[in-house]
């Protein structure tokens, strides 16, 4: 990024993803108030000092009959009354797209401070209905009609494509799940931190039944209620507030959008060594803007909505050659303390996946890592950390690189 237009993270907040907010009778207003208050407190900033608000949410209208969520922060926080705000929807990448909009605002100089929040309620309806609602992020009417659960079916197809091209042992998918559940036990906000997970996870039909295709229960991320937030500022704000100490700097980003259809993507990439070349391009864009190589990275939070999506992320960020993610899994390279820890937070499978909040949560966890604030899942000496967020079947892909605040 241009050194004259840096964007800094000065604080953030994540709700406890293990909570069932629906059972607590907490609606979008209550969740928004919690996330706004928690984020501003962490950033030590008054609401009246926020220049612009960006709200990420994917499915408010469907799960809770609540739209127009860009106006919810002002609804619950008097200090944000009159503050410009907008809502962003890009399926599971909604949080990252909201963040990109905030970055653009800050780099343009239109505003010096931005509040980004991601919020999602997924438990107001039964799980089977929730799965139908989430299917709206696919190409409705053109794919998934024969699947009971659309998204597990789609990512089972991704696994099948890897198997067709390179061979795929399902034990490597189960190893991804196992590691993310183990990491989640270290994270006080992780949805599954207290769950009893089989060790090892096997293909046992009783404890780990088939969901769709080759994917089983523990290959899948969770239905989650929750939110996350960040306060971002630009150089001008830091010059005027020399006592503010950021927790991270957004050093690079990549953003690619392709068609909704999974088969569209697979067909177009049939002759490419990468199953989803646009995902690879998004990561390379982020690294290039940050002027770093993968070997300079100290870890990644990636979008493990299902184990095949993390398998895909491993080779697409370049940790292995195409189709060789299994090598990094077998060699322990993605474990905390390994060559490139992936999802030390527990990711989506272990940590939880409130869709509109996941991109914001990933970026917050990256900032925690580079500022030494990740607690029991802290990577030793982490200085540069990445995030890779997918929307739908990777139709919207966003990657970030977060660095330390040295020189702030």
Mean pLDDT of 92-120: 98
Cα–Cα distances in Å, from 184 out to 27, 176, 330?
Answer: 26, 12, 20
**Per-residue pLDDT band at 392 (split at 50, 70, 90):** very high
Query: Residue 285: its pLDDT value, please?
Result: 98
Q: Write the Ramachandran bin of 346: left for phi over 0, alpha for psi from -120 to 50, otherwise beta.
A: left
Cβ atoms of 309 and 275 within 8 Å: the answer is no
E strands of 163-270, at which residues?
210-212, 215-216, 226-234, 248-257
pLDDT value at residue 68? 98
What is the total residue count of the chain? 408
Q: Mean pLDDT throughout 301-310? A: 98
CB contact at 8 A, 17 and 191? yes
Tokens of 66: 């609540």
Bridge partner list, 9: 232, 248
Provide the pLDDT confidence category of residue 400 given band limits of 50, 70 and 90: very high
**Can you tell me whether residue 207 is helix, strand or coil?**
coil
At 302 the three-state DSSP class reads strand
* 3-state DSSP assignment of residue 300: strand
| pLDDT computed for residue 408 by the predictor | 52
In 3D space, the residue among 110, 118, 103, 109 whose CA is nearest the CA of residue 8 turns out to be 103
Q: What is the pLDDT of residue 2?
A: 46
pLDDT in tens, 255-279: 999 999 999 999 999 999 999 999 9
Average pLDDT score over residue span 108-126: 97
Extract the tokens encoding 20. Answer: 């069932």
- Mean pLDDT over 81-110 rounds to 98
If you average pLDDT over every residue of the chain, what do you get?
97
Could you please report the per-residue DSSP string of 247-286? SEEEEEEEEEE--S-HHHHHHHTTTSSSSSHHHHHHHHHH
> Which stretch of DSSP H or E encloses residue 240?
helix 235-240
Percent of the chain with pLDDT over 70: 98
Whole-number Cα distances in Å, 206 to 125, 170, 306: 25, 17, 20
Domain residue ranges of the chain, discontinuous segments joined by +: 7-125+224-240
User: What is residue 90's predicted lDDT score, i.e. its pLDDT?
Assistant: 98
Q: How many CA atoms lie within 13 A of 310 on its CB side?
A: 32
3 state SS of 42:
helix
How wide is the angle at C-alpha 93 spanned by C-alphas 167 and 219, nearest 5°? Answer: 40
Q: What's the chain's Rg over C-alpha atoms?
A: 20
Per the structure block, which two tokens stand in for 390?
A: 């997918």
- Whether residue 31 is predicted with pLDDT greater than 80 in this model: the reply is yes
In the predicted model, what is the mean pLDDT of residues 35-50? Answer: 98
CA distances in angstroms from 188 to 16, 256, 346, 394, listed in the order given:
8, 33, 11, 29
As a whole number of angstroms, the distance between CA 16 and CA 26 comes to: 13
Look at the pTM and tell me if it is higher than 0.75: yes
Mean pLDDT of 136-144: 96
Query: With 60 as the cut, is the pLDDT of residue 407 above it?
Result: no
Residues 386 and 344: beta-carbon distance below 8 Å: no
Q: How far apart are CA 140 and CA 127, in angstroms?
A: 19
The answer to whether residues 145 and 249 touch, using CB atoms and an 8 Å cutoff, is: no
pLDDT of residue 53: 99
pLDDT-derived band of residue 406, with 50, 70 and 90 as boundaries? Answer: low
Mean pLDDT of 318-327: 98
Domain 7-125+224-240 fold: Peroxisomal Thiolase; Chain A, domain 1 (3.40.47)
Peptide bond into 23 cis (omega under 30): no
Which of 15, 256, 249, 26 has its CA nearest to residue 118? Answer: 15
Residue among 102, 6, 12 at smallest CA distance from 367: 12
pLDDT tens per residue, range 209-238: 999 999 999 999 999 999 999 999 999 999
pLDDT of residue 405: 74
């Amino acid at each position: 990024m241009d050194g004259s237009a840096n964007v800094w993270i000065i604080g953030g907040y994540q709700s406890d993803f293990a909570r069932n907010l629906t059972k607590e009778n907490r609606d979008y207003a209550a969740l928004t108030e919690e996330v706004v208050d928690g984020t501003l407190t962490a950033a030590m900033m008054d609401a009246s000092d926020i220049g612009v608000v960006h709200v990420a949410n994917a499915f408010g209208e469907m799960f809770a009959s609540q739209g127009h969520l860009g106006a919810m922060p002002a609804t619950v926080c008097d200090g944000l009354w009159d503050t410009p705000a907008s809502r962003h929807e890009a399926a599971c990448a909604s949080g990252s797209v909201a963040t990109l909009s905030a970055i653009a605002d800050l780099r343009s100089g239109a505003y010096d401070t931005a509040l980004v929040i991601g919020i999602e309620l997924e438990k107001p309806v039964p799980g089977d209905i929730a799965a139908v609602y989430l299917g709206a992020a696919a190409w409705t009417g053109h794919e998934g009609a024969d699947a009971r659960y659309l998204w597990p079916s789609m990512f089972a197809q991704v696994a099948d494509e890897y198997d067709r091209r390179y061979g795929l042992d399902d034990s490597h998918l189960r190893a991804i799940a196992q590691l993310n559940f183990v990491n989640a036990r270290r994270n006080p906000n992780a949805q599954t931190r207290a769950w009893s997970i089989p060790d090892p996870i096997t293909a046992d039909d009783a404890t780990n039944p088939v969901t769709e295709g080759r994917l089983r229960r523990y290959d899948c991320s969770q239905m989650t209620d929750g939110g996350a937030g960040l306060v971002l500022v630009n150089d001008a704000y830091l010059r005027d507030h020399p006592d503010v100490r950021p927790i991270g700097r957004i050093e690079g980003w990549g953003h690619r959008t392709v068609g909704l259809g999974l088969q569209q993507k697979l067909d177009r990439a049939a002759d490419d060594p990468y199953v989803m070349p646009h995902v690879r391009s998004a990561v390379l864009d982020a690294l290039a803007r940050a002027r770093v190589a993968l070997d300079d990275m100290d870890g990644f939070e990636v979008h493990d909505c299902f184990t095949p999506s993390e398998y895909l992320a491993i080779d697409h960020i370049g940790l292995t050659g195409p189709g060789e993610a299994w090598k990094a899994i077998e060699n322990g390279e993605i474990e905390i303390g390994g060559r490139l820890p992936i999802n030390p937070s527990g990711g989506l499978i272990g940590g939880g996946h409130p869709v509109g909040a996941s991109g914001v949560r990933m970026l917050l966890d990256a900032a925690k890592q580079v500022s030494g604030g990740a607690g029991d899942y802290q990577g030793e000496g982490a200085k540069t950390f990445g995030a890779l967020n997918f929307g739908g079947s990777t139709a919207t892909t966003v990657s970030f690189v977060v660095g330390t605040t040295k020189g702030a």
